[in-house]
Structure 1
Amino acid sequence: MKGDMRRKLEKIKSFDEERLQIMNLSNMSLESLPKFSIDLAIICNLDLSNNNLQNIPESLTARLLNLLVLDLHSNQIRSIPNSIGCLSKLKVLNVSANFIESLPKTIENCRALEELNCNFNKLSKLPDTIGFELINLKKLSINSNKLMFLPSSISNLTYLKILDARLNCLRSLPEDLENLINLEALNVSQNFQYLESLPYSIGLLLSLVELDVSYNNIRTLPNSIGCSKKLQKLSVEGNPLISPPLGVVKQGLHVVKEYLCRKINSSHENNHKNRSWVRKLVKCETLNRYMRRKQPQHEDDDFDLDQYNSINCLSTQSPDFLGMFSPQRLFSRRRSSSFG
């Protein structure tokens, strides 16, 4: 193997420096890297995959100033050097199938990065601000790790097309996913008992074509999925679904969408009725008169209408706010002096 490595290095040296672009040292059972006598600034693609490397020297990555592709997959690497941040032109980084527990914060300096593959590692978290910095990222593969949460900054990756976060321990997803306007494929399957719900924003992803949430602990799909116009593939098997029921799911995606759309429309109708009910009460002052006639049934149940603000503007409030003024809540005996 050492002879093969020498021949590869000699061949690389024989190239004219202006033509040298790729250095392939993969599948050589390397446990450490040799000292390079060439100028590493002329390398644009470095493949060190399928070796036995345990670490990458800080001095090496600091010299790869024009590197576009770095492939380190299938080694025994436990950490990425902080000098990775020097690779300002790096577009593809593959560190899959290693033993990496965390990514250095300096990776955020690789702002040209378009593809990041960290599959099959031991990641328990991602840098909190990674989404604010890697703004050109198009593919993020982080499956088969130990991630419990994705940082909220992920929602700032507006160029992201593929997000693969299956086989983790995810408890939830960021709430404002709708900002991922170019996301076409989202896979959060096989987080098993940990992932129990999906954010409403998942149905507001404008470009989403494939959604895989199979083998989780999800009971209810967000109604917003019924509005996903481009969604063509939805995988939900392996979940204890109640809404939509299994009978609906078996009929296919179009039936699921129709079911969820009906739920949305029903919700809108109920909200409209609530608004109409309050408008009528305010207009004829029925509520005020009813409250003034109502006598407390117990001495400690005094109900003083003057302690409450006027409801004359309720008809312009949100449905959640209007729910505070349902007949059941308004006319029940209360001990407090404000609506909770």
Structure 2
Amino acid sequence: MEKSKSLVQNKLEKLLLDCRSIQRAIVKGTSLMNKPDIVKSVFQTFECLEYLQITPVLSSPPDVFNCKTLLELDLSDIGLHQIPVSMATLPLLKTLRASNNRLNKSSFPTEVELWPLIETIDFSSNHFSVLPEIFEQWKCLLYCDLSKNQLLTLNEQVVGQWKALRTLSLHNNRLVSLPESIQQCQKLSSLSCQYNSLVTLPHGISQLHELQKLTFDHNKLAWTTIPSLKGLNCLAQCTLAHNQIKSIPMELHYESLKALRVCSLGHNLLRDISNVEWTYLVACTEVDLRQNRLVKLPTSLFQMPQLQHLNVESNALTYLPAEIECAKQLISLDVHRNQISMLPDELAKISTMNQLDLSQNRIASIPLAWRDFLLHRHSNKNIVMEMLKLDALDNPLVSPLKEIVAKGCYKSPAAQQLTLTLIKLIDYLQKSTTKRSKVELITFQSLHKNDKKQYDLKVRKGQAKLATEYLDWAFRDICRVSANGVDVQSFRRILNALGCPWTKIEWTRIMTEFEGSSSLTINLESFLNAIEHAHQSSSTNLAFVEQLLNYLQDTSDTMELKPSKQQPKPPPFTPPTSQTKTSVQATITKETPCKPKPTKNEMRLREQVRRQRERMEILQQQLQDKLNIQQSCEVAEESNNRRYLEIFCMGATTLGTLKVSWQPKWTVMDLKQFIEHEYQIPQLQQVKSLFYACADKSSDIYRNMEKRKRLDNADRLRSTVHAIYTPRTS
């Protein structure tokens, strides 16, 4: 029994020693409602306590707080309505948080020294209507939050004693005015008085030379009740929105606001600000003039050297001045909900413009000069303009601009031609790639899938999966110039070996679109990605702003290409005669026969014919491109070295060889007709197999003759002619 008592006593002594070294404690409010003697004895053990937080609920704590070392006390949200004397006489307390309680003027004890070293006070969301006189003891107060109370006035003597105050929050009260003694707070840097009923401001506010943030929005201030701002040289943010300001007179001395960065004058009654010299605000970056009655904007507003954000929405503006180009650093411009019908061309000269809101105006068209926004790009080649808000329902846009804005997308003819060019290659590869090549690709993928050195092909998706993987596999042995680039010669050689069906114009389009770091390289990865997503024509990777600017670019290009034509005059009006009336009535009454819908077989045959025609056009264009290249060289040598076509005759004929002058544009049918006309050999008796061999094995024709016989080192066209009978000879 004695051993157990000694063990308990040892544990209590150890617990007591631990309590004496505690610096931070959180105590439940219900535990303080026990006997005062017990609570007092517990708090006496906290010899080193610096931080104490009391949790709900404790409306009136007991008078047992004798923690002389306490520095920070948190009494927020506990329903407190009375401060005990022992808590009010903490000599070293520097921070007190007592928000969301029921404190008022009578909650504090009188005739005591109330927290002489206090620096931070938070009495927000309480029931103060006036400040207690005991608050004037706070000589060291730095931060004071009295927001969300019921304050009607501030005690002149109390505020005048807060000479070290730096931040004062008085928002969401019922203040009508501020005391003149606020000028004694010479170190005040932030003053928040929004959501009050202020009608006038004290003249001593201009003596606060260290003031940096001034907030007076949602009050009842007029320009006649605002004092001079001449002494506020450090003011960086001034908010006077939601007041009754009608003008900005020179008497405010706003030219001294050299450090002002944010100026908010929205939701007022401003009509004319042309008398304001905005160039004095040399450091201002943001101006808010929304919800006023402005009819025009002054020129000096856009001559501010650091202006970046301008908001003039919900005014009565009818135009934007051409001097807007002077705002070289303007990033965002909001002219939402005005009456603007014409837009200046000079706006496109601002290279930093990032966001532009033109919704709910009277805009019918966009200047074609805005295509210059495409020239303003970041280092990663992305366009600087990211947002251009132009609602089709709010503005009376003309077609086709209205349809583009309504759909939110636009695909330029150049992009459509590029897509068709890529789809042409995809269709050709999917149809012409032999089964053996596909098997080789699949075998290569299965054998080297786990070997990163051999297999470095991406797994593609979509409708063009097979064609993209086959192209990527075809370029596997090509030496990459850069991370994603190959040289132009290797790029053309590989695609020509696969039988690429592109014409000369399509080749130029591809080379221009997928140009690499230099003009002699091709960005292969970008090309393969475009092949993979070629069938996704409904979606585009470009943002809507860039699509809209591409539309302006295409429109301006077509207008430059079209010559100016005078419209023909309409013919003179002639009254209709009786004969014309009867003919018109006859045409109206005549019914047009309805064409029957084609069947599935007819549609399939038409599709086959269309594809065959496209294929013939491609081959004809390729042949024409080849002949155009060779024709320039042949014409120069034609006078000195004229070429001839040697025809070797076999069979029952006395003719050995035929020598015919070579015509580059001849076809097989033309050659047969010439032989029939010159040597009297009928076309039905002629059997020809044409061979063209060239020493240059990189030519297109040489690679496309895999199944034909080749004659090396020969630069002529040969034909074998069989004749059954012996023609007459003279």
- TM more than 0.5: yes
Code of the residue aligned with 2:386 in structure 1: it is Q
Code of the residue aligned with 2:217 in structure 1: it is H
| Aligned match for 1:240, one of 378, 385, 396 | 396
| Aligned match for 2:259, one of 112, 119, 133 | 112
1:98 and 1:129, CA in 2 relative to 1: closer, same or farther beyond 3 A? Answer: closer
Offset at 1:10? 3.8
Give the structure 1 partner of residue 320 of structure 2: 173
CA distance in 1, matches of 2:196, 2:129: 14
1:37 and 1:243, CA in 2 relative to 1: closer, same or farther beyond 3 A? Answer: same
1:81 and 1:18, CA in 2 relative to 1: closer, same or farther beyond 3 A? Answer: closer
Moved more, 13-22 or 157-166: 13-22
Asked if the contact 1:103/1:127 (under 8 Å) is kept, the reply is no
Give the structure 2 partner of residue 224 of structure 1: 369
Code of the residue aligned with 2:337 in structure 1: it is Q
Per-residue deviation, residues 280-308 of structure 1 (Å, max 9, x unmatched): xxxxxxxxxxxxxxxxxxxxxxxxxxxxx
Mapping for residues 56-135 of structure 1, pairs under 5 Å = 56-57=201-202, 59-79=203-223, 81-105=226-250, 106-135=253-282
Offset at 1:103? 1.7
Other structure's SS at 2:238 match: strand
Per-residue deviation, residues 52-91 of structure 1 (Å, max 9, x unmatched): 011213x222212221111001111112625123212211
Asked if the contact 2:212/2:237 (under 8 Å) is kept, the reply is yes
CA distance in 1, matches of 2:321, 2:255: 20
| Aligned match for 1:186, one of 312, 316, 333 | 333
CA distance in 1, matches of 2:388, 2:284: 24
Other structure's SS at 1:136 match: coil
CA distance in 1, matches of 2:179, 2:301: 37
Q: Which runs of 5+ in 1 are unaligned?
A: 275-340
CA distance in 2, matches of 1:5, 1:26: 15
Other structure's SS at 2:290 match: coil
- The structure number with the bigger radius of gyration is 2
CA distance in 2, matches of 1:67, 1:115: 14
Asked if the contact 1:128/1:153 (under 8 Å) is kept, the reply is no
CA distance in 2, matches of 1:144, 1:12: 42
Asked if the contact 2:215/2:238 (under 8 Å) is kept, the reply is yes
Offset at 1:244? 6.0
Other structure's SS at 2:347 match: helix
| Aligned match for 1:15, one of 141, 149, 173 | 141
1:93 and 1:11, CA in 2 relative to 1: closer, same or farther beyond 3 A? Answer: farther
Asked if the contact 2:201/2:226 (under 8 Å) is kept, the reply is yes
Per-residue deviation, residues 24-79 of structure 1 (Å, max 9, x unmatched): 2222200121242662321111111111011213x222212221111001111112
Offset at 1:123? 0.9
CA distance in 2, matches of 1:75, 1:220: 41
Question: TM-score normalized by structure 2?
Answer: 0.35
Other structure's SS at 1:148 match: coil
Give the structure 1 partner of residue 574 of structure 2: none
Mapping for residues 26-65 of structure 1, pairs under 5 Å = 26-36=171-181, 39-57=184-202, 59-65=203-209
Matched, 1:205 2:350: yes
1:43 and 1:180, CA in 2 relative to 1: closer, same or farther beyond 3 A? Answer: same
Give the structure 2 partner of residue 313 of structure 1: none
Question: TM-score normalized by structure 1?
Answer: 0.72
Per-residue deviation, residues 185-240 of structure 1 (Å, max 9, x unmatched): 1100101xx21111111122211111100000111212232222311111111111
Asked if the contact 2:217/2:239 (under 8 Å) is kept, the reply is yes
Moved more, 245-254 or 113-122: 245-254
Mapping for residues 123-162 of structure 1, pairs under 5 Å = 123-162=270-309
CA distance in 1, matches of 2:311, 2:557: 32
Asked if the contact 1:95/1:117 (under 8 Å) is kept, the reply is yes
Matched, 1:257 2:549: yes
User: Percentage identity across aligned positions?
Assistant: 24
Asked if the contact 2:314/2:337 (under 8 Å) is kept, the reply is yes
Per-residue deviation, residues 99-131 of structure 1 (Å, max 9, x unmatched): 111123222321211001111111112253433
Give the structure 2 partner of residue 298 of structure 1: none
CA distance in 2, matches of 1:165, 1:112: 22
Asked if the contact 2:186/2:209 (under 8 Å) is kept, the reply is yes
Q: Which structure has more RCO (C-alpha within 8 Å, separation ≥ 6)?
A: 1
Per-residue deviation, residues 251-274 of structure 1 (Å, max 9, x unmatched): 23222101212344456668xx89
